[in-house]
Amino acid sequence: MRQMLRTLQIAFTYIGTIVGAGFATGQEILQFFTQYGRWATLTIVFSTAVFIWLGTKMMILAQRIGAESYEDFNRHLFGKNVGGIISLFTLIILIGVNSIMLAGAGAIFEEHLGLHYQTGLVLTVIGSYLLLKRGISGILQMNSIVVPLMLTLSLIIIFNTLEHPGAHRFLLLGTERSAFAAGLSPFLYTAFNLGMAQAVLVPMARHTQSERPLIYGGILGGLGIGFMLMAAHFAMSAHMPGILQFEIPMGSIAFGLGPLVQLVYLMLIFLEIFSTFVADIYGVTLQLAQRLPISSAFITPAVMLTCYVFSQFGFSSLLALFYPMFGALSLVWAVKLILAPMVPPSKSVAPPKSELLPASKPVPRSTRR
């Protein structure tokens, strides 16, 4: 029973880390999948397989080498010097993407709840800080609540789309895009998201004693991501091409299902942003704690303050700046992960007993210099 619970926590955390603002609004799915018409269903199936394969491989490899942060993992993939440079660049991009998440939370409060932009930022930062005091256990518990709600909303959208006259179009939708572009798109998408997810999946694997929950958690998590991708694509295809005019495509669908669904959808968008923000801040804190002789109790608020400052530049401008940069890095990282040989279990580094089920406390700081 305990292993089953741990498996579900890993699966939900995997899903919650991948699903961010772009996924929730539908923009990512529209740009990477739905716009490719009839090819989209196949590319979603391919993406699901890659999420299962590489996500599981990353977690198992991280556990076997005893990686405490994504910097340890990158040093294993690229070597000490190059891995350190890759991790430093990843750190900068993660701070940028976290600023985007924070700006997205502020936009929700301002545009949909009628509250001040700064109110959304401050509440998100305070809530994140309180949750991060619980360490990895807090992240697991949060995603165990948020992700089932997201999956439930996906089911509601599917059932409502079945009654739409264009429900069958997800298999027949035409496109002007080439088959090559359609085939490349899912690889770009999975590489980018897995590159982001390593910030929390690597330390989560380190805190897991057995490989079995990682394997089954990776499989269930990948399937869950694929299900949500397919549900959103199925719904948006039924409303093509008119849905292209909306900045929040999935929002236009949810808003048509009544005020209750609209409220639930807005709440879930915020929670998805919140869960990704918390997970990334956790990963960044671990990485900085290895580099700096400073307690994580000071690192976490410092990183949050940095994200708060950058979030003042707005959601769209930050998105345009950081996403292309990290996309290129993620491609290199994903290829390296594919080519990396697995470390035999006999050579793995077992985590200390105190790390298997971490207590509700701040992120532990590494003793290495």
Alpha helices (runs of H) in 162-258, residue ranges in sequence order: 179-206, 211-237, 249-255
Task: Please report the DSSP string for 66-122 in residue order.
Answer: T-SSHHHHHHHHH-HHHHHHHHHHHHHHHHHHHHHHHHHHHHHHHHTS---HHHHHH
Q: Which residues have CB under 8 Å from 15's CB, separation 6+?
A: 143, 147, 150, 221, 224, 225, 228
- CA 165 – CA 160 distance, rounded (Å): 11
- CA 278 – CA 214 distance, rounded (Å): 21
The SS3 of residue 209 is coil
- CA 122 – CA 49 distance, rounded (Å): 38
- pLDDT value of position 321: 61
* First-to-last C-alpha distance (Å) of the chain: 39
Task: Please report the DSSP string for 282-323 in residue order.
Answer: HHHHHHHHHHSSS-HHHHHHHHHHHHHHHGGG-HHHHHHHHH
According to DSSP, residue 365 is labeled: P
> Tell me: the pLDDT tens digits for 129-169?
888 888 778 888 888 888 898 888 888 888 887 877 666 66
According to DSSP, residue 61 is labeled: H
Contact assessment for residue 326 and residue 99, using Cβ atoms and an 8 Å cutoff: no
Torsion region of 314: left, alpha or beta (phi above 0 gives left; psi -120 to 50 gives alpha): left
Residues of the chain with pLDDT under 70: 21-22, 24-25, 165-170, 172-175, 245-248, 314-325, 346-369
Contact assessment for residue 170 and residue 237, using Cβ atoms and an 8 Å cutoff: yes
Give me the phi and psi of 170, to 5 degrees please. Answer: -65, -20
pTM of the shown model: 0.83
Domains in the chain (CATH in brackets) are 2-341 (1.20.1740.10)
Which helix (DSSP H) or strand (DSSP E) does residue 143 occupy?
A: helix 136-161
